[in-house]
Structure 1
């Protein structure tokens, strides 16, 4: 069963959650609000982001870094594969 909770910043905005702590009735969860914090940050609302969860900014930085590393790895791998196919065609 999913718990329904009210957003403390926007009390009219209720949402469903899969958070096990919220589903057990706890109001304080270390991760709740992080997604909303990242979304607020992406919309340029730094104060709301910090109000929702203080770790939103570092989390977004970590996620962005990881995405860039994976994109770079994919680019390098595709270039290597392209060179290998070209060598095979030349032989």
Structure 2
């Protein structure tokens, strides 16, 4: 998350580990989500939605997941109530 917040999503010359980009494809759903989250961290909601429309909900899911991993009582309460 820190990497997405600190990188420039509009930068054209950046290092990538994406197998689709390395194979020459122009678009990748994972990269779109990464760019969308990065645009959100930079306050650009319009470009975030343009990069990938699931960026906003995915950011909330990831933040909740990080919170549940840091605070184990949230995870255990939800698992034992079912």
Question: Normalising TM by the smaller chain, what interval?
Answer: 0.5 to 0.7
Q: Which runs of 5+ in 1 are unaligned?
A: 1-8, 75-91
Q: How far is 1:17 from its partner?
A: 1.1
How many pairs align? 66
Q: CA RMSD in A?
A: 2.3
List 4+ stretches of structure 1 deviating above 3 A: none
- Bigger share in helix: 2
- Bigger share in strand: 1
Indicate the structure whose relative CO is greater, using CA pairs within 8 Å and at least 6 residues apart. Answer: 2
Relative to the length of structure 2, the TM-score reads 0.64
- Partner residue, 1:45: 44
Which protein shows a greater Rg? 1
CA offset digits 1:52-76 (Å, max 9, x no partner): 22221121011111011112217xx
